Structures are given as C-alpha cells and as structure tokens.
Structure 1
Amino acid sequence: MTALTKFDRLEASALWRPQGETQRVEVIVSMGDATLTISNLNEQPLSHWSLPAIERINGTNERLAIYAPGPDTDERLETEDETMIAAIARIQRAIERGTARQGRVRGGLLAGVCVGMLAIGIFWLPGALVRQATSIVPDVTRNQIGASLLSRLERLSGRPCQTPQGTIALRLLNARLSTNPVGEIVVLRSGLESPKTLPGGYILLDRSVIEDHEDPDVVAGYVLAEQQRAQDVDPLEHLLQHAGFLTPLKLLTSGHIPDAALDSYAEDLLRETPAPVAMEALVERFAKAEVRSLPYAQAIDITGAETLPLIEADAVRLQSARPVLTDGQWVALQNICGG
C-alpha cells in the first residue's frame, strides 16, 4: 500500500473477539501490504482482515479504537496503540480519496459520453440522414419531387413559357448538351433571378436569358453551368439540407417530402444566389459539349476578369465547336414566351 510505506510490517498488541459474546483474546496485530494479520502470542495466525474493508465502529476521538473487518460480522478488534490506529486511519483516508476520484472519473466519462452522443445527434446525424436519403432515392421519386417543386414555382412566377416550336427547340437543346439527357429545360416568365436545377434534372431559366442575348451559345453556357452545379451538389441534397432534420427522415420512411417543406424551399430558391462553379470544371464541360465558351464568358462578365479561363479556352478550341441550334430553332426558342 503506497499510503503506508513508512509503516511496513507494523505490529501492535490488541484484544480480539472472534464472534458474538466470546471472551476477548490478547493478540498481536501485524500490518502487511494489503491485510491485517491477527496472531496469538505464539505467532500463529488466527484471522486475516482486508485493509480496505476495515471499519472503525466507535468514535475517532476515543483513545481505544474498536474495529470490525466489515459491516456484516460481529468479529471485533480493540487496540490503544497510537501508531497502529494512525496507520489504519491513514489507509481509510486514502481509500476515501480514491473512491471520490474514481467517482469523478466515472462522472467525467459519463459526461463525455453524453456530450459525444449529443454532438453526434446535432452535427453528424442530420448530415448522415441527408446523404443516406440522397443516395437511395430512386429516379422516379426525384422526378416526382422536381415536378412538385415546379408546380409550386408556377404559382410564384406563372406558367412556364410554351409554344409548339419553342418546346421542340428546348428539347433539342437539352439533347445537344447532355450525353444522357434527363429532366428538361424549363423557361419561366418572371421571378427567377438566376438559373436553377431541381431534383429530377429540371433546369430552370428565366426568359431574359433567352430574349436578351443574340447567341444561342450564351443559353447553352447557362445550361452547362447548371449541369456542373448539379454535379457538385445534388439538387435533392440541397433541398434536404434546406428542409431541416425531419424531412430526410420522412423521405426515407414514406418516400415523400412534406408540402410545407416544398413550399418553403420553392420561395427561397427563386431568390437564392447560385454557388460559384470552378472555372476549370466548366472549361472541361464546354469542351466535351463542343460549345463555344466566349459568348457565355462575355455575358456574365463583360470585362473578362472572372472568366479569363473560358475566354482563353475558346480561342484554342474554336475550330472544334459545333452549332448549338440552327437559326430557325434559335428563333423559335427566342419566341417561346410569345414574343
């Protein structure tokens, strides 16, 4: 016992009562590393007490100390040896400090576990639910969610622009710019501050994107930029992050998103500033689509300061570019909202 290194093999005389009302016997008490040994005067061991279990059963201010080996026995030991009494008291104090320390450690560990679980619930679980829902939702459900969002946006911005020839031109544009066309390109009459992409591959353009430019490559650039944003951040993931903790859980369990969540997202989406797209990725996307990047670069930044990679790439790949639409198709698209 480190608490009693100075009392190594301490011995003292004492009176020992084995049980009940039996007569007390004079004994020799010796203290070892972990036990108190009670022996007769011939040094024959009579009993062994565990030092941590010893209890003093009378007041500490009395000269005579009476001890028991534990709470459930009537075995007793009496001694007036001050050194032995001090040694046993020192052991009891050491045990009390150790117990308190262990209690604090256990309390600290428990508090740490609780904080950890709370942190998991607050920071990790919502993101994990969003990622899980995004990864397993089938295409048909994505299309349904996108169509529901589009119907809500129509209440805010009016019905999408449609003419027979203009609608055909939009479909041709979508096929021209996508290796695996999904969803559709939709032109809204008002309220859309910048192009957006909905779950299911719906790409939304404001009519001004088409009517305010003379080159179909500009419109193609906006579509390609939206395709890149959708690749960077899944539109369904963006919706679920906006909708809050319970929405991905409801989507996983029921296959549906609450109407209130869709309504709120639709309103915010119209005003939201689009996330920036890495120029290097956009340059590569223009190259794969064989679309000129200069018209789009000048449309979004007339100075060219922010779109220099697109401008430089256009000069290199000019010969490999292909027309986005024919002149007749472009005229039909520009008149899709009725002139």
Structure 2
Amino acid sequence: MTALKKFQRLESPGLWRESPEAQRRDVILSFGNASLMVSDSAERVLTHWSLAALERLNPGQMPALYSPGADSGETLEIEDDLMVDALETVRKAIGRTRPRPGRLRIWIVAATAAGIAALALFWLPGALVRQTVAVAPPEIRAEIGQAVLARMARAAGTPCERVGGQRALDRLSARLLPGSGKRVRVLPGGLPRALHLPGGLILLNRALVEDHEDVAAVAGFILAEDLRATRSDPLADLLRAAGPLATFRLLTTGTLPEAALSDYAREVLIAPEAPLPEAEMLARFREAGLSSTPYALALDVTGESQRGLIEGDPLRGRETDPPISDGDWLRLQAICGG
C-alpha cells in the first residue's frame, strides 16, 4: 500500500508480550513495508506484524492493545497517541480496500482515495495543499477567483465595466501577458495598488489608471502582480489560509466553504505587497520590451528607493512605442466613468 510510505519514519515505544505466559518487554515500533516492525533497544528486529491483519483488542481504550491476528497470543500495548492514530488510520484505509460483493471496483477506488486523502489530511497538510493545487483545473481556479472577487465588493466595489475602457485594458494585458489567458480588472477603490487572485485575475486600483500620465507605469504594476502570482500560487495561498479541512473539501467536492472565501477576501485586501527581486522585475520589463523607469517613479516619485529599476532600465535612453495607443490609454483612464 503506497500510503504506508508516509509513515516510514514514524517510531514509538511499546510493550510487547510474545505469549500470554511471557513477560512484557520494552520495544521500539516502526513502520516497514506493509508491516509493523518490533525491535528491542539494541535495534534487533524481534518480529514483523502484518498491518493488514492487525486487530485492536480494546477499541476506544488507552493504552491501545493490539494483536497480529485472531489466533495469535502476541500482544502490543501502545500509549503513544501518534502511533495509535496512525495505526487506526491505516487499519481503516486497508479495511476499505477489502472486496465487497457487487461493488468491488467502486469501493476499491473510493477506499483508496479516501485513505490516501485522510492520511494526507492528518499528516501532511502541506502536501495536501500541493496536491490540490496540482490537480485543480483552470475552471475551478476561475470560479474561486470570481467568488473571492464577489466577496470583495463591499470594501472595494464591483469591477469598472465601461466597455471601451475594458477593451483597452484587455489589449494592454494581451500585449503584456500574451497567451496567458489572464484577465485584468479595475476596481473603484478599497484595495492596494494592485493584487492578484486565483484563476489569473489581476486587480488594479482605479487610482493607478487615473493618476498616472504614462501607461507604462500601469503596465509595470500588471507585470509586477503577475510576477507575484508566479512566485506564489494564489490558490495555494488561499488554501494555506483556509486550512486542511477546506482544502480536503475542495479536493473531494470542487468547492470551498463560504467562510474560507470571505476570510481570504478580507485578508488579501489588507495584506502588504510582497517584495520582488529587482533582477526578476527587470527581466520582465526586458521581455515585454518596456521601460522600467515609469513604474519605478510611480513607486517612488524621487526614485531614491528604486534606483535599481531606473539604472537597470533595459530600454534606458531609448525611445519606444507605448504598449497601447493614446486613444486606448484615454479610454482606459475613463474605465470607471471618470
């Protein structure tokens, strides 16, 4: 059973009785290949117990008492909660894989999935997040992003929908993030300069498009937020904040609890911007064929704190065409009706 690999480093003390007449011995218990190894203090293996045949002699009581089978006189007494929980989890997982007449295939698949998911939930929450993120389809990511966006409406408003402005913004995002399928929206207020959500959503504060004279500055914020989303998957961020139960629910049902979505919507609005390495930002500007200086001056009008972006500008001293036309820039600046 591959799930047992998760417990290969788990050890605990125990008391082993070889037969009803024998004295109890202090032993060390550890997981082997589908078995529980019983060793003495000198690390000599005394016996192997098959996990598939393991029986609990006193369910619900502690210390837990186990036998390697119904006809055996051997017993193990275990007080370690972690080891007992692990053995019970494995016993249940193995029990679910046993054939049931008429429903063999369904139960084998369901029991194996449930066992692996339960083990991951109990022992490896980080691995559970990684697995869920790895298998989450784009449609689910997009639904989650839209759900979080909807819950931000009370604080940040609904996305600005002026048609000409959104089309201009779509052209800008296509120019900066070609082939990514990511969507950039502008919100009326109540959020930091920019942030990102699952499903390829990048959100800009209205002030970014209205207060800056150069569209290259806005382009820089889009590139920066896309880089943040690349460095830390927003779905993984959400699941780590939501906890293992919400993550398990998403993995098994494709949905998240309402509370998890609402809590994340509040947290993302007040979270500080994650710093970005200048070298990676300059590489993004170089790839996009844009000057980094307008973005640097938008961050700090004096330029003092952004000297790296200014002095390392990949297009420093060169004239370049703006990423969108002047007409599109004017329409984008009026996206919220201003």
Classify the TM-score, shorter chain.
0.5 to 0.7
Indicate yes or no: 2:247 matched with 1:245. no
Alignment CA distance shift 1:126-1:102 (3 Å): closer
Distance in 1 (alpha carbons) for counterparts of 2:320 and 2:286: 8
**Preserved contact between residue 292 and residue 318 of structure 1 (Cα < 8 Å):** no
Distance in 2 (alpha carbons) for counterparts of 1:113 and 1:123: 10
**Preserved contact between residue 283 and residue 310 of structure 1 (Cα < 8 Å):** yes
Quote the RMSD (CA, aligned, Å): 3.1
Q: Counterpart in 2 of 1:265?
A: 264
Distance in 1 (alpha carbons) for counterparts of 2:121 and 2:249: 18
SS of equivalent residue, structure 1 residue 287 = helix
SS of equivalent residue, structure 2 residue 303 = coil
SS of equivalent residue, structure 2 residue 247 = helix
What is the CA-CA distance between 1:156 and the residue it aligns to?
A: 2.7
* Structure 1, unaligned runs of 5 or more: 1-70, 73-95
Q: How does 1:81-160 map to 2 (within 5 A)?
A: 105=41, 111=80, 114=83, 125-160=124-159
What is the CA-CA distance between 1:239 and the residue it aligns to?
A: 0.8
Mean alpha-carbon deviation: is it higher for 182-191 or for 127-136? 182-191
**Preserved contact between residue 185 and residue 203 of structure 2 (Cα < 8 Å):** yes
Distance in 2 (alpha carbons) for counterparts of 1:319 and 1:116: 66
Q: Counterpart in 1 of 2:228?
A: 229
Distance in 2 (alpha carbons) for counterparts of 1:123 and 1:313: 48
**Preserved contact between residue 293 and residue 309 of structure 2 (Cα < 8 Å):** yes
Q: Which structure is larger by alpha-carbon Rg, 1 or 2?
A: 1
Distance in 2 (alpha carbons) for counterparts of 1:115 and 1:283: 54
Alignment CA distance shift 1:110-1:321 (3 Å): farther
**Preserved contact between residue 194 and residue 273 of structure 1 (Cα < 8 Å):** no
Q: How does 1:314-333 map to 2 (within 5 A)?
A: 314=313, 316-319=315-318, 321-333=320-332
Offset from partner CA, 1:160-198 (integer Å, 9 cap, x none): 112121111111111010121323111111111231111
What is the CA-CA distance between 1:100 and the residue it aligns to?
A: 6.5
Mean alpha-carbon deviation: is it higher for 120-129 or for 193-202? 120-129
Q: Counterpart in 1 of 2:294?
A: 295
**Preserved contact between residue 194 and residue 205 of structure 2 (Cα < 8 Å):** yes
SS of equivalent residue, structure 2 residue 280 = helix
Q: Counterpart in 1 of 2:163?
A: 164
Identity over the aligned pairs, expressed in percent? 42
The one-letter amino acid paired with 2:232 is V
**Count of aligned positions:** 244
SS of equivalent residue, structure 1 residue 196 = strand
Distance in 2 (alpha carbons) for counterparts of 1:177 and 1:273: 24
Distance in 2 (alpha carbons) for counterparts of 1:141 and 1:315: 37
Distance in 1 (alpha carbons) for counterparts of 2:147 and 2:308: 38
**Preserved contact between residue 182 and residue 200 of structure 1 (Cα < 8 Å):** no
Q: Counterpart in 1 of 2:278?
A: 279
SS of equivalent residue, structure 1 residue 306 = helix
Indicate yes or no: 2:190 matched with 1:191. yes
Indicate yes or no: 2:211 matched with 1:212. yes
Q: Counterpart in 1 of 2:177?
A: 178
The one-letter amino acid paired with 1:166 is G
**Preserved contact between residue 239 and residue 246 of structure 2 (Cα < 8 Å):** yes
The one-letter amino acid paired with 1:224 is L
Distance in 1 (alpha carbons) for counterparts of 2:288 and 2:319: 10
Alignment CA distance shift 1:124-1:293 (3 Å): farther
SS of equivalent residue, structure 1 residue 323 = coil
Runs of 4 or more consecutive aligned structure 1 residues displaced over 4 Å after TM superposition: 99-107, 109-113, 120-124, 315-318
SS of equivalent residue, structure 1 residue 220 = helix
* Structure 2, unaligned runs of 5 or more: 1-19, 29-39, 44-75, 87-118
The one-letter amino acid paired with 1:164 is V
The one-letter amino acid paired with 1:171 is D
Please give the TM-score of this superposition, normalised by the length of structure 2: 0.65
Offset from partner CA, 1:33-58 (integer Å, 9 cap, x none): xxxxxxxxxxxxxxxxxxxxxxxxxx
**Preserved contact between residue 292 and residue 314 of structure 2 (Cα < 8 Å):** no
What is the CA-CA distance between 1:277 and the residue it aligns to?
A: 1.0
What is the CA-CA distance between 1:228 and the residue it aligns to?
A: 0.3
Alignment CA distance shift 1:102-1:335 (3 Å): closer
Distance in 1 (alpha carbons) for counterparts of 2:319 and 2:252: 49
Offset from partner CA, 1:210-256 (integer Å, 9 cap, x none): 11111101100000000100000011111111111111111110011
What is the CA-CA distance between 1:112 and the residue it aligns to?
A: 10
Q: Counterpart in 2 of 1:86?
A: none
Distance in 2 (alpha carbons) for counterparts of 1:160 and 1:101: 66
